[in-house]
Amino acid sequence: MDRHTISVLTNDHPGVLQRVANLFSRRGYNIESITVGGCEIENLSRMIIVAAGNRQMRDQLILQLNKLIDVIQVTPLDAAPKLSRELMLMKLRATPGQRQEIISIAETFHCTIADVGMEALIVQVVGKTAQNNALLQLLKPYGLLELTRTGETAMSRP
């Protein structure tokens, strides 16, 4: 099954996200990740939706999304080169003896140590989902206390 990234430009009104999510639900498609935020045009929002499925499913979703009220534009980002990133925050157990080792691994992945406590620290990483997964597998054995991920956001390359 392929992963598809779709950019959806919408009016910034209450209920738009629910209508989009309901469309996926009614069709039986799972949203792997969705990011929503303001964009370059005032009073509009951009959703970046990642979903798994075949190309026929993606094309059907695009047709259905274009029929929704408040949807301005739907663009599949699979066809052209795109830049995509995900923000991930990991709270790790870190004794004073482990900290330098964790920081060294984090530096290899160009991460930031966002916060440090007596027995834990928070690593912040912005990268491709696969890179973030690799870092997570390396740091998990230190004691993963909490994890949060934004999901993928993307745009076509200039």
pLDDT at 93: 97
24: which residues sit within 8 A by CB, 6+ positions away?
Answer: 30, 31, 49, 51, 61
pLDDT at 116: 95
Domain boundaries, the chain: 2-79, 83-156
| Fold match, 2-79 / 83-156 | yes
CA dist 83 and 77 (Å) reads 9
pLDDT at 79: 78
CATH tag, 83-156: 3.30.70.1150
Contact present, 16 and 45 (Cβ < 8 Å): yes
Q: What is the pLDDT of residues 94-126, one digit of tens each?
A: 999 999 999 999 999 999 999 999 999 999 999
pLDDT at 1: 80
Of the candidates 120, 116, 117, 127, which has an alpha carbon nearest to the alpha carbon of residue 149? Answer: 127
| DSSP character string of 65-128 | HHHSTTEEEEEESSSS-EEEEEEEEEEEE--HHHHHHHHHHHHHTT-EEEEE-SSEEEEEEEE-
Residue 153, amino acid: T
CA dist 68 and 74 (Å) reads 11
Contact present, 86 and 102 (Cβ < 8 Å): no
Kindly state which CATH superfamily the domain 2-79 is placed in: ACT domain (3.30.70.260)
pLDDT at 98: 92
Segment-wise mean pLDDT, segments of 10 residues, the chain, 158 residues: 94 96 93 95 97 93 96 92 95 94 95 95 96 96 96 92
